[in-house]
Chains A and B, each alone.
Chain A
Amino acid sequence: MADNVTIIGAETLVSGEIRGDQNILVRGRIDGRVSITSTLTVEDGAILQADVDAEAVLISGVVVGNVSASGHVRLSSKARVVGDVTAPRVIVESGAAYRGRLEMGEVGTTAASRSASRRASESEGAEVPGRALPRVQSPSRAVSVSGSPAVRPATPPRVATANRPAPPSLPRVSAAGGDAARPAWSKKKLHRRR
């Protein structure tokens, strides 16, 4: 029997609250509130002016209201949504239009970016010009960087050793810092460019 899915047909308007534990497929209109423990599908052409609380919400139509899902929310390419969306997983496909607050919960840093930040802050302590940018080559680049004395792509990369006295405006990389304080690469002998 076709009674596991509730279908709000294209020519139907429901004004009020819909509650339940079964999937709902909307082709028509809902004004009010949808509160289900299952999946709400809003098809292309459907219009919801409603707050939604469901396990999963799949939107290809128009939703104006706050959407909250315990599972996920997907906005397909035809979706048009205005309102807050709260869910641990949210997928937005190219073509969807959305305006509102999108909340997936805490956004932690990735493990990769954490270790990159760690590495970056190690070299930040040294702040020796040139060493910081291994890949910026040409000084004639149109990308300009301002505001930071630590980074100078306009000058050709200079290879500096830990023994070289740093310019007065920059923190000193001193041998007195102790082996533990210096990153491993600074202990290597490097060729000095004349």
Chain B
Amino acid sequence: MAKQEKEKSMGNTVISTGIVIDGEVSGEEPLTVLGTVKGKISTTQTLEVEPGATVEADIEAQSLSIGGRVTGNVNARERVEVRSNGKMIGDIKTPRIVIADGAAFKGNVDMDV
């Protein structure tokens, strides 16, 4: 798992814990948020919102994994996973969704793609 994490963060974008971004983040590579993003996030690849992270933004991603707090509307082309420590408030549009036991979620899910 540690090796996987390391591989994930190689050549990726990592917004670390002490950082706040107020604006738009867009990219064509995996994105990991440990800090705070307010605004908009769009990536053609994976977005990880780690425990402790705060995202107040509309999100477009290939796939999304939520372990922190996300407030906003999500559009994921492949899948969304709300992990056990994740909190999601907003509407999700995605063909596949996993909401783990313990996760908090408030919003609509549209799986019709």
* Contact between chain A and chain B defined by CB under 8 Å: yes
Does B14 have its Cβ within 8 Å of any Cβ on chain A?
yes
Smallest distance from the beta carbon of B26 to chain A beta carbons, Å? 5
Q: Does A11 contact B (CB under 8 A)?
A: yes
Chain A interface size range? 20 to 34
- In angstroms, Cα B53 to Cα A1, docked, is 15
Q: Is the CB–CB distance between A18 and B9 below 8 Å?
A: no
What residues of A have a CB within 8 angstroms of the CB of B26 in the complex?
Answer: 12-13, 15
Interface flags for B1-43 (1: CB within 8 Å of A; 0: not) read 0000110010111111111111111111101001100010001
CB distance from B13 to the nearest CB of A (A): 4
Q: What's the minimum C-beta distance from A144 to chain B, rounded to whole angstroms? A: 61
A19 & B22 in contact (Cβ 8 Å cutoff): yes
Q: Which B residues touch A100, using CB under 8 A?
A: none
Size of the B side of the interface (Cβ < 8 Å), in residues, is 28
Interface centre among A3, A4, A21 (most CB of B within 10 A): A3
On whether A8 and B22 interact (CB within 8 A), knowing A2-B6, A3-B34, A20-B35, the answer reads no
Contact B13 A28, beta carbon cutoff 8 Å: yes
> In the complex, which residues of chain B have a beta carbon less than 8 angstroms from the beta carbon of A3?
14, 16-17, 34, 50
Residue among A5, A7, A21 with the most chain B CB within 10 A?
A7
- Give the Cβ gap from A109 to chain B, nearest Cβ, in Å: 42
Contact A24/B19 with A5-B14, A6-B35 known, Cβ cut-off 8 Å: yes
